[in-house]
């Protein structure tokens, strides 16, 4: 277990809790946690802290946290903002392992608050006391009844203990989510809201959950991220541990991102890069609270098929068709069942459609024994990875429901490890009955299939959990310098790093140009190289298709003359000579320094794909070949690389290698490089490699 | 009211019902309707029909429907398939106005059944007795308690009367949907399942609902359509009547379409064309049962803003951000509130974010009076068309809920016509309370915004409800002949219909070619015209860029010689001469005869847009200019026509005119034409028009 997880354990599993600002008034923030813990029966010790001392809610109170005679795992701090720093200093002095700070009035409010918050960060760093908040709603341990929150949600019910850890940067969304989870009967292991994140942030908590043996699913609400490396480490760890991560990250729209920035002090980061990171590590990105809960609930049963064959058993043919549509939309196959299975089903139910979906019609309701045999055949001989059973409004039948409740436990006993979703209108107690048997119950069949799709994607991601090693750069690779390079130097730098950039030379006179052309091979292109000339063609600075030495000499002289006339006084580095390359599929490779994740590689097809359709995809650097291949397949224009429109297939492997190498180069030079463009990057016919015709390296500006 | 609606009224609103195959056994299909009607208190008359006569469930039974001494609106037929035809003949003879046939064993089973079903269709056509089914689940009138179904759903509850008419081709999906509607508290006006559709089909029922004063929302499950003109007429009527149509049409995926065909005998039709038809008439296409119900419920409140400005009031900033994301994804704006509104809100709640979303934070819960003032400012001065109020788990607060229930009725009284969605966890009775006040309650804020998006799209569609008149063709337009035309003749035919096809001439010798070229204007292109030569370039049959008469003569002779050599014996119509045209944006216009909807116009951008991205859109012919403009804006490549990539904007109006005219030409020639291609169709710079370089007209094959 990592140090980070170790340091957060007293906050997720506290055995002794000090409540600083404790109150006898059970409606006050400093009174509620004590009251709720007493009511729920927290098994650890509670130490109210209040300058007045005495007794609070029947417990001995201390006037200062330093007076508590025992070790304190967690302090809950509910005093006005101006008094928080002193209390946290006291906690650090007393060796309190962690503190949850409810108080608001920090960085979200004023510059004074910002200073206080900065001081809190310092205390955390120097003392090792981990701080959650300020301006947060606190934490909850469902099993031990440790309550470090002022939420009043326990007035109307207690969540069920289970294996889902819920994390939220927002207190209000966090408590809303926890109530939703309770209402839906989800099993919750722990709950943490991180607020202003002066110390502990959501990525730290993810890391704890990823390593925590009691957590099997991590459900997250987030707006931004302060520790991108930690986030990626946590995602990697969770994947290695086969723990699904379900994340509702807001700020996808521009107006949403603006609102997110006004809501917390988080750095939102380009949403597309967040999206790429989640995809890269197999996290499921939910787009509503409902989806966050539904996918988390489905995942908590712990079954993740790594292939995508769906069997459907339905008492309605129409729902069968609907299921096929939903399966196709979610990357699932509904394959025809093997002949043996079809034959057995037909013998069993001559009236049924048996291909898959298996449509038993309402006849199955006349003989529930058929349900058992139907499921046995489907599960034993159907060769499917997941099964959806649709039974409409069966839950309302006082006659049939008891029979179904006799049949399905036997099916589960016989097939303990099969992923089975049960889609029907069920009363809450019946739903709980089937969920205890690991039948995931989702009333709407389309939504059930969406959830199955998510579980299959988790399974596929877990199957390739071992992070691949990014390639190493060739021995001759040089670090990127801090200053600006012209295109010839930039090309040489990237070529030395193993990237296929067309070789070019900078020449000073016509004779040098002719020699360079002969060395590089005709035909060639000539271009003026000058940091002061942006539009080279407009000043007569470009000549293409030069087939021999004479043409090169003449073109060189003409360029020099034209530039002198049209851009008088411009500093000119020289005239670049490069071989002409044509053909292949035009793509664009780029790197930018993402404000959150740092060097990030972009890939897209050239021309209208990038300019009109914005058909691009991202990965955080560095990454390996497999990841590069995934990236390439993600763009809509991918069929062009496979050889659409009668073209030969392109050299996708060469492209993948270039992307992976570019990512390594970008990561290694993150301190000096802000951006790289290889545009156009031509992917030639399979086996013939790829080549960038132009290279740009933008140095870091600050 | 149309004849069709008139003829269906006795089936939707029967006042006297004969039950043929009536039974004393209340579990039997022939027993259930009588039992349920008696229990529910149907106010009309019930006539059991059974060969044994006597008394059934306490009612006088008749041995034959013809013996019933009073007029019968509707007969419910529940006898084995083999006996149905005789019973329906009797009904027709007795002047029964309509019959619902439960019995299965018709076209879905065997050729014998198919013959029986054909006979039923004949009887319906000749007698005027409207027939629903066979193999259907029947009908329901919620208000009058007329029950023409064997569904046992009434064992566990009765739907609430209201304004939603539910139609389904599938009985099982239909009854499932009705139970879902009941459980969600939706108000249902009528329910009809159409089964095998020997006479009455789903489009007929849509037409009834569109004209029915008691129906305000039409919710449909469908798999295919037998009467496309009726479907379109019903969609048009519903739009004119400002009645939202929400449709769950399955078979979107290939495997789904196959399953749909095996499930009913319906002709599924290309799903993309169905999709285009729904879009064209402003119907909302739902992709799950849940969405079908949720959008229908939201629509039943009858408020449809025609512009898209959304106001959000939330006690959670995080949900505010989420709402912005959801709004952007659903075509809604979350505009900054006018200065006055922001000022007023800030005075009211100094702690709040007031730009929009208005984040009151949980402080609003401390003073519910703030809620009222907040809503007043937002609704009176916010200049928004729809408002979402998010209040988290407020429904669980026994202290706050009564206060909210005092405040919100006042808000509604003050703003009776504003569209307000209330997103919170609510107990069922509280939800009903707010819904009676026309606050639409959807717990999940993202889903609430999806529903608002749908209502706005309905409003926008209603605003342009007057179907525009398609253009008329020019006086010189000729009908398309039944035989195949070569490209010159096809071009001339379409040119005469007012379509911009490049003028070309068929020539027999070099001299004629040179003359034609001079007349058309240089440079020109020459092409061999032959029904037997598919790949003209391969036989040396194409020459481009011919700049003068001499070049034309020489090219003509060379083409003739090359074709004679490489395609000896091929019948040649002549050599086509046409002016060269270049530039503009390459598009494709096409017509195909859709198996369901008939002549259907396709539009797409050329090249990779069509070939790689399948970026095309459809409309059923004929249509007008406005519809053509919508169509053009639908393709992803549309920015290219607007002038992306530094190009001048293209002549979109000329393109729209061509599409509308093409649709009229296709509709007028539906009997003789199977397909038309204008490819490439170049849309030139704005003001310069458009021109097709090639034209193909495919005659009807049978």
Q: Mind listing the pLDDT tens digit for each residue in A599-655?
A: 999 999 988 888 788 889 999 999 999 999 999 999 999 999 998 777 899 999 999
| Structural tokens at position A47 | 């130490």
Structure confidence at residue A362 (pLDDT): 78
- As a whole number of angstroms, the distance between CA B141 and CA B22 comes to 20
Torsion of CA B410, B415, B421, B425, to 10 degrees: 0
Report chain B residues whose CB lies below 8 A from the CB of A613. Answer: 613, 636-637
| Burial class (CB within 10 angstroms; exposed 0-12, middle 13-18, buried 19+) of A303 | middle
> Which of A316, A325, A650 should one mutate to test binding to chain B, selecting the residue with the greatest count of B CBs within 10 A?
A325
Interval B536-554 mean pLDDT: 93
Does the structure show a pLDDT above 50 at B242?
A: yes
ipTM: 0.92
Q: What pLDDT shows up at residue A267?
A: 43
Of B221, B288, B357, the CB nearest to A446: B288
Determine the residue among B157, B261, B325, B336 to mutate to test chain A binding: the one whose Cβ has the most chain A Cβ atoms within 10 Å: B325
- What would the two tokens of residue A521 be? 């091979």
pLDDT at position B361, please?
82
Contact B254 A328 (CB under 8 A): yes
A26-63 residue pLDDT tens: 989 999 999 999 999 999 999 999 999 999 999 999 99
- What's the CA gap between A124 and A101, in Å, rounded? 12
Q: What is the mean pLDDT of each run of 10 residues along chain A (702 residues)?
A: 95 98 94 96 96 95 97 97 97 98 92 96 98 96 97 92 97 96 96 97 98 98 92 96 97 71 50 91 96 98 94 95 95 96 94 92 82 94 96 91 95 96 96 94 98 97 85 95 93 97 95 95 94 89 94 95 92 94 92 90 88 88 94 93 86 97 97 93 96 94 72
Show residues of chain A in contact with B172, CB under 8 Å.
315-319, 361-362, 392
Q: Tokens 């090169």, residue?
A: A552
A interface test, pick of B158, B170, B288, B321 with most A CB neighbours within 10 Å: B321
pLDDT digits (tens, 9 = 90+) for B246-273: 999 998 877 666 666 554 434 445 788 8
Cβ-nearest to B259 among A170, A262, A357: A357
Assigned token pair, A67: 């007076």
Q: What token pair was written down for B390? A: 């998010």
Higher pLDDT pick, A397 / B209: B209
Question: Long-range contacts: B636-642, Cβ < 8 Å, 24+?
Answer: B636/A612, B636/A613, B636/B609, B637/A608, B637/A612, B637/A613, B637/B604, B637/B605, B637/B609, B637/B613, B639/A612, B640/A608, B640/A612, B640/B585, B640/B605, B641/B585, B641/B587, B641/B605, B641/B683
The H or E element that residue A593 is part of is strand A585-594
Residue B265: per-residue pLDDT: 37
Cα-flanking dihedrals φ and ψ of residue A258, to 5°? -65, -45
How far does B9 lie from chain A, in Å, by closest CA?
27
CA proximity to B281, closest of B226, B223, B231: B231
Query: Has residue B414 got a pLDDT over 90?
Result: yes
- Closest alpha carbon to B235 in B292, B166, B281: B281
3-class DSSP assignment, residue A469: coil
Q: What pLDDT is recorded for position B702?
A: 63
pLDDT value for B634: 93
- DSSP per-residue letters across A506-559: EESSHHHHHHHHHHH-SSEEEEEE-TT-S-TGGGT-EEEEE-SHHHHHHHHHHH
Cβ atoms of A483 and A699 closer than 8 Å:
yes
Tell me which chain A residue has its CA closest to the CA of residue B331: A253
- Structural tokens at position A8: 């957060």
Mean pLDDT of chain B: 93
pLDDT tens digits, B549-592: 999 999 999 999 999 999 998 999 999 999 998 889 999 999 99
| Higher per-residue pLDDT: A225 or B291 | B291
Contact at CB, A252 and B325, closer than 8 angstroms: yes
When mean pLDDT is compared across A371-375, B659-663, B698-702, the lowest value belongs to B698-702
The mean pLDDT value of chain A amounts to: 93
């Amino acid at each position: 277990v990592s140090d980070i997880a170790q340091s957060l354990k007293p906050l997720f599993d506290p055995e002794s809790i000090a409540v600083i600002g404790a109150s006898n008034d059970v409606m006050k923030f400093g009174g509620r946690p004590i009251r709720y813990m007493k009511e729920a029966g927290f098994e650890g010790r509670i130490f109210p802290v209040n300058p007045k001392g005495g007794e609070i809610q029947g417990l001995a109170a201390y006037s200062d946290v330093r007076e508590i005679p025992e070790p304190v795992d967690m302090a809950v701090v509910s005093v006005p903002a101006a008094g928080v720093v002193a209390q946290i200093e006291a906690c650090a002095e007393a060796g309190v392992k962690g503190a949850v700070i409810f108080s608001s009035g920090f960085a979200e409010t004023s510059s004074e608050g910002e200073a206080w918050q900065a001081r809190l960060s310092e205390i955390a760093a120097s003392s090792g006391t981990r701080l959650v908040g300020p301006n947060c709603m606190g934490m909850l341990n469902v099993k031990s009844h440790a309550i470090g929150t002022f939420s009043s949600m326990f007035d109307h019910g207690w969540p069920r203990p289970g294996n889902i850890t819920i994390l939220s940067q927002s207190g209000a969304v966090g408590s809303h989510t926890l109530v939703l989870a309770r209402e839906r009967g989800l099993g919750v292991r722990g709950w943490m809201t991180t607020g202003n994140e002066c110390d502990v942030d959501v990525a730290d908590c993810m890391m704890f959950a990823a390593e925590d043996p009691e957590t099997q699913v991590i459900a997250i609400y987030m707006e931004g991220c302060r520790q991108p490396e930690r986030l990626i480490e946590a995602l990697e760890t969770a994947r290695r541990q086969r723990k699904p991560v379900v994340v509702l990250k807001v700020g996808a729209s521009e107006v949403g991102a603006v609102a997110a920035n006004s809501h917390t002090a988080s750095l939102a980061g380009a949403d597309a890069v967040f999206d790429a990171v989640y995809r890269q590590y197999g996290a499921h990105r939910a787009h509503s609270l409902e989806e966050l809960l539904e996918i988390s609930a489905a995942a908590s049963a712990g079954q993740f098929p790594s292939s995508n064959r769906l069997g459907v058993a339905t008492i309605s043919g129409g729902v069968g068709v609907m299921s096929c549509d939903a399966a196709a939309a979610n990357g699932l196959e509904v394959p025809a069942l093997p002949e043996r299975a079809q034959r057995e089903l037909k013998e069993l139910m001559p009236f049924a459609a048996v291909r898959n979906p298996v449509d038993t019609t309402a006849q199955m309701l006349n003989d529930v024994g058929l349900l058992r045999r139907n499921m046995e055949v489907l599960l034993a001989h159907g060769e499917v990875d997941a099964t959806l059973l649709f039974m409409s409004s069966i839950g309302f039948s006082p006659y049939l429901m008891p029979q179904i409740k006799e049949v399905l436990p036997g099916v589960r006993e016989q097939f303990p490890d099969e992923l089975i979703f049960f889609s029907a209108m069920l009363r809450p107690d019946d739903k709980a009955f089937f969920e205890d048997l690991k039948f995931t119950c989702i009333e709407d069949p389309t939504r059930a299939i969406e959830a199955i799709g998510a579980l299959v994607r988790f399974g596929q991601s877990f199957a390739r959990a071992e992070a691949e090693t990014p390639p190493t750069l060739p021995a001759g690779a040089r670090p990127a310098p801090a200053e600006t390079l012209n295109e010839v130097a930039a090309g040489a730098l990237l070529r030395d790093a193993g990237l296929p950039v067309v070789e070019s030379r900078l020449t000073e006179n016509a004779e040098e140009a002719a020699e360079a052309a002969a060395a590089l091979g005709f035909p060639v292109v000539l271009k003026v190289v000058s940091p002061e000339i942006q539009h080279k063609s407009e000043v007569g600075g470009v000549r293409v298709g030069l087939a021999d030495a004479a043409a090169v000499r003449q073109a060189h002289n003409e360029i020099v003359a034209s530039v002198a006339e049209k851009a008088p006084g411009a500093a000119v580095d020289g005239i670049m000579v490069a071989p002409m390359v044509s053909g292949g599929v035009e793509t664009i490779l780029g790197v930018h320094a993402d404000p959150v994740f740092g060097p990030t590689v972009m890939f897209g097809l050239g021309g209208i794909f990038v300019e009109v359709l914005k058909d691009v995809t991202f990965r955080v650097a560095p990454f390996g070949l497999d990841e590069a291949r995934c990236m390439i397949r993600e763009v809509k224009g991918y069929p062009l690389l496979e050889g659409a429109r009668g073209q030969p297939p392109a050299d996708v492997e060469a492209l993948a290698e270039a992307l992976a190498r570019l990512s390594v180069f970008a990561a290694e030079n993150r301190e000096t490089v802000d951006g790289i463009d290889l545009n156009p990057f031509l992917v030639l016919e399979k086996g013939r490699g790829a080549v960038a015709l132009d290279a740009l390296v933008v140095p870091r500006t600050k």
